[in-house]
Structure 1
Amino acid sequence: MPNWLTMMTDDLRANLRFLCAERQSTAQVCRDIGINQQQFSKYLSGRSNPSANNLRRIARYFGVEDTELLGAHAQLVRSYRAKTATLREHRQDPLANVFPGDLAQLRPFLGAYQVYFQAPVDPNGYVVNSVFLDERNGVVYSRLIEALTDTTFKRRRWTRCDGKVSYQNGRLFVVDSERKNENALSMHILTPPPRQKRHYLFGTMCFMASMPRRMPYASKVVWRKFEAYRSVKDLFKSCGVYSAENLRLDPVIRRYLASDFSEESVRL
């Protein structure tokens, strides 16, 4: 027998034994796969190799690739244990299926936005932040940048919050955290607008205000999408606090933020 075939048989035998040891019994494995137990015993002993069809059925049952099943035993053990750990963590995470939710519906919302909401310390002022939504490994992440003027030191105070985004039942849910501020959490619930206002997301937000004292705070919020911009600096320049009378404030945004929380105002 050629050396490569001997090595393949040895690795396959070791891989099958390892995978079967993770299950209740070899007999149960054979019943689940629908394969003859006597034939399967030959695979375990190395007296026979499975056909391409049986190899594929066995690999699919154990959640591995055909090539992994035939590959080096040490590599299969590492790969299988990594997958098992990931699945275990996924089952233990109550929000594992929440983020990103409906990814296909969420993808059109990727990009850069300006975020508008009422200033916590000034009922006649509005805060403007920048936020970016991007997808990595099947999850949509948010990165929010806030730049407010610090009157004490006469310079801009920058804050960054990172989070995740979910799409559920026609709404976007954004949960993020500011690491430098005792891991303070914030949440945005946003509703996609009618077609004529497709560049906007309207909703509500809540977070822990840091000034003048740490208190829960809620406000209506508007996200306006930036379809094109020359650089990230262009977005950051717009960050800050504006008065309600500022002519730069979009009338659609001003009207929504000035309305109350009634259902009629949310409908726009």
Structure 2
Amino acid sequence: MSDDFSRNLRSLCADRGSIAQVCRDIGLNRQQFNRYLSGAGMPAAHNLRRIARYFRSTEAELMAPHEEFERRRKTDRVARHAGPLDLFAEAFQTGSSEMRRYLGWYHSHITSPSWEGCILRGLSCLYERDGYVLVRSLERATSRDGSIVHRTRYDGVVTRRGGRIYILEQEARSEASVDETILMPSPRQKVNYLQGITMGVATRPYLLPYASRSIWKKLGAQVPAREALGACGVLPFNSRKIDPTIRSYLSTETLTVS
């Protein structure tokens, strides 16, 4: 059984190119992983599960006889190439230990033509599930006179490529817009702020595409969810609730397309 597992694992790694990168993505020691590849050792149950999730497989499939495993892989390849959306499935699949340091809650900040002269603060959570990093974002906005109330939820997927974090979100309603955010983390610094750009479609007065600088502030684990959500909304640019770092970064004018 261990011989089948090691052969199956070598076959999967051959498609990835770099064993070192596979180890970093899964979060396993290279020397330990080499023992699995050579058949000199078997992973513990929790490590076997991590390996299976990374390769979008199951523990049982990894332990299957090698010939059966290869036949199933060939069938799966044909099925995966059936649709164009499968091109994105692999791009957003990640077991990267490097990405895990960015998981958690954030206050996101952008400017939007829907709320001119203001900063829109939302609440976003990055979390891992089934080998993917996912995002859920909430926006709450009320006009100054109270005549307009805007509440929106977004769900999406996240990946890290070339040192950049790519976030693709869809509004949770019919005929929803799709927004993209690209953030530029500093690999050597503690995660406090993530700066980048957001592209989306304004909700009012017209459905215009726009691009805005975007800055996410990491929230501590001790911040209650109700408090974090209550701090969201449309804030004046000079509000004391806005950090100087955030205000300075968002001072550049928002780009719209008419």
Give the TM-score of the pair, scaled to structure 2.
0.65
| Residues 1:179 and 2:185 are matched in the alignment | no
Residue equivalent to 2:227: 234
Distance 1:94 1:212 in 2: 35
Offset of residue 122 of structure 1: 3.7
Instruction: Find the counterpart in structure 2 of residue 113 from structure 1.
Output: 106
Cα gap change, 1:245 to 1:258, in 2 (>3 Å): same
Match of 2:87 in 1: 94
Counterpart amino acid of residue 60 in structure 1: H
- From 45, 61, 65, the counterpart of 1:59: 65
Please state how far the C-alpha of 1:233 moved relative to its aligned partner. 1.1
Distance change (3 Å), C-alpha of 1:146 and 1:122: closer
Partner of 1:214: 207
1:100-144 residue CA offsets vs partner (Å, 9 max, x unmatched): 356222111110000001132344210000001111100011000
Structure 1 residues 86 and 213 mapped into 2: Cα distance closer, same or farther (>3 Å)?
farther
Aligned amino acid, residue 249 of structure 1: I
Does the 8 Å CA contact 1:102/1:166 hold for their aligned counterparts? no
1:18 is matched with none
- Gap runs ≥5 in structure 2: 1-61
Q: Deviations over 1:11-65 (max 9, x none)?
A: xxxxxxxxxxxxxxxxxxxxxxxxxxxxxxxxxxxxxxxxxxxxx998122218x
Work out whether 1:162 is the aligned partner of 2:159: no
Partner in structure 2 of residue 146 of structure 1 = 139
Whether the 8 Å contact between 2:99 and 2:160 is mirrored in structure 1 is: yes
For residues 221-244 of structure 1, the C-alpha deviation after alignment (integer angstroms, 9 at most, x for no partner) is: 001111223432111101111111
Task: Check whether the contact 1:149–1:155 (CA below 8 A) recurs between aligned residues.
Answer: yes
In 2 relative to 1, CA 155–211 (structure 1 residues): closer, same or farther, beyond 3 Å? closer
Q: Deviations over 1:186-207 (max 9, x none)?
A: 0000000364563110000101
Structure 2 match to 1:189: 182
Is the partner of 2:111 in helix, strand or coil? strand
| Equivalence for 2:96 | 103
Select the structure with the greater relative contact order (CA < 8 A; seq sep ≥ 6): 2
Identity %: 28
Change (3 A) 1:247 1:230: closer
Aligned equivalents of 1:214, 1:100: Cα separation in 2:
31
Moved over 4 A (4+): 83-89, 150-156, 194-197
Paired residue type of 1:213: Y
> How far did residue 88 of structure 1 move?
4.4
Structure 1 stretches lacking a partner, 5+ long: 1-55, 65-79, 262-268
Residues 255-266 of structure 1: matches in 2 within 5 Å? 255-259=248-252
TM norm structure 1: 0.63
Larger CA Rg, structure 1 vs 2 = 1
Contact preservation (8 Å) 1:177, 1:184? yes
| 2:126 aligned to which of 122, 133, 138 | 133
**How big is the alpha-carbon RMSD for the aligned residues of Structure 1 and Structure 2?**
3.0
Residues 197 and 249 (structure 1), Cα distance of their counterparts in 2 relative to 1, 3 Å cut? farther
Matches of 1:101 and 1:251, distance apart in 2: 34
Distance in 2 (alpha carbons) for counterparts of 1:257 and 1:164: 24
Query: Match of 1:245?
Result: 238
Letter in 2 for 1:170: G
CA contact (8 A) 1:112 1:226 kept: yes
Q: Indicate the SS of the match to 2:92.
A: coil
Report how many residues are paired.
Answer: 190
